[in-house]
Structure formats: C-alpha cells, structure tokens
Structure 1
C-alpha cells in the first residue's frame, strides 16, 4: 500500500473507533472525566482517543468495552488498532516485542526508542522528511511511549542496548531536551533488567556499521532478528542469518565500554 493509502487507512480506523467510543460513552451518560476516572486516565486522554489523536492499549479497549456495555463492539477493533499503531515496516517487531523474553539492540543514530522521553521522541519524529501530519506525529509518539512498558513488565525481561557515542551526544530537540533525555537514560539504567554500553567513536570499526539491529528471545524458544537502515528494514527468522546477527552483537559488546564506564559517560552528558 502506498504511503497516502496507508495514512488514509490509519485515519479512518482511528476515526471510526473514536466515534464509537464517544457514542457508547454518551449512551452510558458518562463525561470524559468520569470515564477517564474509571479507566485511570485524565479526561484529555479520553478526548484524544475520541478525536483519533491517540491509540489506546488493548487492555484499555477491553475495560472500556465492559464499562460502557458495548458488548464487544469496541473490543473487535483491537487487532486493527494494534496494526495501525506503528509504521508498516515496524509493526511485526512491535507485536513480537510484547511477547519476548529478552531483547538486545544496537543503535547508531539516536537514543533507542525504548529509552526516549516524550519531547525527545517528538523531536526525532518531527525531523522526518516528508513531514508527518500533526495527528501522525502524536500517534507515533504515543506508540513509541507505549512500547516502553516492556522495561517495567511484571516478568522484567532483560533488555540490553549498545548505543553509539555520537547518538548520545547529538542534542536532538535542543540542550534542555537533551539533558532531560540523558537523565531519563540514567533513570532507566537503575532498573535491574536494563543495561547499556556505549560504543566509543574512536573505535575504528566494528561489525554493525551498516545499521541498527535488534535481537528478540521468544518463548518458542527461538531468537529473531530485525535489521534497519535507509534502504531496508527486515525481520530475520532464518536460523543461520539470526546466528550471524547474534555473533555480530556479541562482538560489538566486547568492543563497547563497560556498563560502569557507560554510566559515567552518560552522567557527564547529563551535567
């Protein structure tokens, strides 16, 4: 599907769901404030759902369906809402992330999405050419922030990052946003299941110079890979190719700073 068609489909899906949510809320004689209170959200969050500016989590849709007596009308939209929450090239990975038992990744250009603040994420997304509409920006920011629940999930899956020094140093969004972003990284690194290593710029070469990669340990059990660059983004399931990505990641971990050295480096950036 071409970009225009995809954007139109996303917009239609969100408008239909938002209209249904508003209809059932009004039939239940509830204000946005009252529904938000019962769901654990502020009224402006309910408003953003109804105006198709933000996509609710599946659990939120299920609870709203029950609270409003929608008899499954809202719940049936969950698969479509999950599908349109992320850019087409990223949807499969986002779905698999929710089920993974562990995650490793290498990022060359920006702070990893799982660690981004809202302001930093918005600055990254708004820098895209051709530009996103305001609604698309809000939807993508929301989706990126929702993914971060992986870090604090009840089973606490281990999550490890290798990030290029230059990606951490670039002041995306301005100095204030950058400092807040470094503080957020340090905050997340206090979680026992989260670790990060910085790849120093003075390392002359390493085996992941051709782009970002992600490794997911799945319950099957199997490991899946995901590679991304300007010209390609691909989910990798072939065992031989995944094994190559695992070897590549193991190598860059040995070349990066230790976790302790990495934290000290980020503390300097955070001021």
Structure 2
C-alpha cells in the first residue's frame, strides 16, 4: 500500500509541475503543439507499425471517452492530452495518422513512439519503432508539408511559436541497461557513467530540436523507474525480485547527481529554450 501511495504521489507531483510549466507559457492565439518521445506520450503512432510495442487492445483505453484502445499507453488520457486541454486546443494527431492533413497540420503533431529511448539501441526487442532520430526527420518532413499549406515563412513562425514536449530516458534504463542481468551497456558502463552518457546524448538531441526551430520546449525527467508495471511485476515487495530481495517501487531509481550538476543542466536548458 505504501508503495502505491508513493507512486501516486510522485505522479501527482509531476502533473502539478507540468501544469505550472504550461501555465507560464503565454497563449497568443492558436499555438501548435509537438510531441516527441516514448510510450508515456505516444498517442497512436505505433498502431501504424508492425511492432510488439502497441496499445491497441484492452484494458488500454477503458477510461477514455470511447472506452476503446486508442494507441495511448494509458487507461485514458495521457500527458499530451492534458496539456492540449490546458491550452484549449484539440489533441494532436499521431504523425502517421492518415487524418493528419490540411488544416489539421496546423494543430501540430505527435511523433512519439513507444519503446524508444535516447539511444538507438534501446528497445531493439520491439523491432519496428520510430527512433528519436527518425522522429526528428519526420519533424523536418512535417515542416515541408505545412509550408505547402501556408507558405514557408508562416510554417517557420508556427514552429518557432509552438509548444514542444519531449519525454525520453526511462526506456534506456528499463528496456536497455536493466533489460537483463547482463547487457552490453552494463558491461560497457557502470550506472553512474551510463547516466552521464545518456545526458550527453540527450543534449545532442535537444540541440538538434533547436536547429529544427523548436523554441518553447518542455523536457521531462525520468520518474520512479521501479514503478513501471514491468518492473513492479519482478521487483516489487509483492513480487519476486532478482536476487531474492524485495523493495518498494520508489527505491529503484537512477543515481542522483549533485545540486551543482543539476543547476548547471537547468541553466543550460533555460539558456537554449528561453520563452
């Protein structure tokens, strides 16, 4: 019970922080919204792919208005949906959706794909997913498509003024480093060095996003990794854990860094993605 409360409290705090961040972004008429990342923000792209990382069957979607699976890895709405509602806009469509044409393009697009990570070798067990490098290429393609509708200059303004959400990192631990007792990445790095490596690679992704025109960017961190359902099944106090021990889900976390390191990282993000 304490484990569930801890997970719920962590999620609640994360959502409060999200809403506070969104509320600080001024709304100047219609604002496009772009989403990049993994299953936490995928709203259906993987439904169009031949992959095992899909959310197209019950119980996914049981609390969605249609009570049917939508491709979201959620019982109902996900974080991008909540942000869209906060902005007073309709939900963005998956980029692979055939419905994303014409004026629908002006709302934005969701490029996220379940199973991917910061690293290209994350989620290889899912085979056909849209890795972050491919998501960036789709973003470029999107801008060309919008340019054909409203002109290149207006397309650039739309992208520059848009709100962008990117959520990555959890799968690099759960579906890569900790995927098995022995993995290539665990042989290559200890957990501290692996985490630093992820930060370095994530920074490259954010710079790439900036070069593509993104200016207002929400960058999320990884939540309690031990609270991921797949991890709860094998590591929680109510289930077996490798090595025979048991922990609360909130005990299984990436390593923490000094306040100085966090301050420098936040300062860099504020410098690159100011307002």
Report the structure, 1 or 2, having the larger strand content. Answer: 1
Report the structure, 1 or 2, having the larger helix content. Answer: 1
Same fold flag (TM > 0.5): no
TM-score normalised by the chain length of structure 2 = 0.29
TM-score normalised by the chain length of structure 1 = 0.29
